[in-house]
Amino acid sequence: MNDEKLYLVMMGLPARGKSTLAIRLQDTFRKSRIPAKIFNNGNLRRAYLPLKETSSANFYHPHNTSALEMRKKFACINMKRAKAYLEGKGRVAILDAANVSRARRKMIEENLDNHPILFIECINDDQEILALSILEKTRLPEFSRLGRQKAQAEFLKRIENYRMIYTSLKEERNYFRMNSLQNRILEERQTDAIPLYLLIKDILVTDVVKNLFLIRHAETKFNTIDRIGGDSTLTAKGIFQAKALGSFFKKRQISYIFTSHKKRTIQTARLICARQKNCKIIPIKEFDEINAGVCEEMTYKGIERKMPDVYYSRKADKYHYVYPQGESYETMKPRIEAGLKKAFFLNRHADNIMIVGHQAVNRMILAHFLYRRDDDVPYIYIPQDEFYHIISTQNKKLFELKPYV
């Protein structure tokens, strides 16, 4: 047995991020000069069967014996291909499929017995993210003959059909069970010597961003009079800034623009998106600006005059101070982290994503990557005529502030 080679077997219900993770593993291996290749059962299925058949939830029902044999056939084809790949110069074969039943995984173990096998189970039960992921899935050509609502209903039935035979990893010799939204390992078991084990573990828990463009919303009416919070719209200058952003990024395909639920971020994003093709705006509540509580829509001078205790207490400890009936930078941190996890999960295979946020929010996002001291976070520079470009992978870290006009 050659223990320098490895089978990685993905496992989990549909729309849990298996393929995204498989691609991330493959990309990282290849950048480290480790030959790796994905063998995806769904791609075989879509290539050899009519799309109207594979889009039907009935095709995935465990009592549909003819479809079950067909899916088993595709699994066997990929197992043979993976085995042949490792017999050559390949070092890591990644089998990307649901593999939710113990019977299917036992079949894999029996057929791929010449090298170690490491299973990776992807778990994610965040309903908002699942709904958005399913919406993306139903945009595939497989569902083109169906209306959007019918496609979503069929995909939900497909998930329930898989759930009927779902058995979590337990008997397997080597595995990770992980929260694929949070990039957090829930359980691990290592019985055999697994090559690249520590590298794989690092890949599983690392947020990967190929290109993130972090932008503060353009100028608002409240910005011009120094009012904080609220839900103000853009000024004429702000509209000019947002259009300039659109012109700047028009030659770079932006797949997603994530915003808060506030008008100023959505308005900025729409003017950028207008110069893009196939760009989607996704508001995420976790990216809403810091809640100033009783100080919402006030000016800093007004707070100093009417609430001097609030003004000077916050000035003395800006990161930890909680606005009365509001938030602090510190209490924002969990929701900002949750928003980032959602954006990264939905990013999937896209090379470029954008977040149009707010001053305090963008400071917290930058702190996530830059590991700034807590006391310094409220003073990170967040201009409205420049943006941050961030790359964060296992192999490369980049942070740069760039003008767009």
* Tens of pLDDT, residues 334-350: 999 999 988 888 876 66
pLDDT tens for residues 357-389? 999 999 999 999 888 899 999 999 999 999 999
Which option is the CATH number for 209-403: 3.30.420.40, 2.40.30.110, 3.40.50.720, 3.40.50.1240? Answer: 3.40.50.1240
Residue 58's nearest CA partner among 155, 185, 184 is 155
pLDDT at 94: 98
Is-contact 244 270, C-beta < 8 A? no
Q: Beta-carbon neighbour count of residue 35 at 10 Å?
A: 16
pLDDT at 348: 63
Instruction: Tell whether the model's pLDDT for residue 3 goes beyond 80.
Output: no
Which option is the CATH number for 6-205: 3.40.50.300, 3.40.718.10, 1.20.1250.20, 3.40.50.1980? Answer: 3.40.50.300
pLDDT at 147: 85
pLDDT band (50, 70, 90) for residue 210: confident
Handedness of CA 202, 206, 212, 215 (dihedral sign): negative
pLDDT at 294: 97
Instruction: Tell whether the model's pLDDT for residue 257 goes beyond 80.
Output: yes
Instruction: Tell whether the model's pLDDT for residue 1 goes beyond 50.
Output: no
Instruction: Tell whether the model's pLDDT for residue 174 goes beyond 50.
Output: yes
pLDDT tens for residues 58-93? 999 999 999 999 999 999 999 999 999 999 999 999
Domain ranges across the chain:
6-205, 209-403
Whether the model pTM is above 0.75: yes
Which residues pair with residue 392 across a beta bridge? 209, 397
pLDDT at 2: 45
Phi, psi of 206 (to 5 degrees): -95, 130
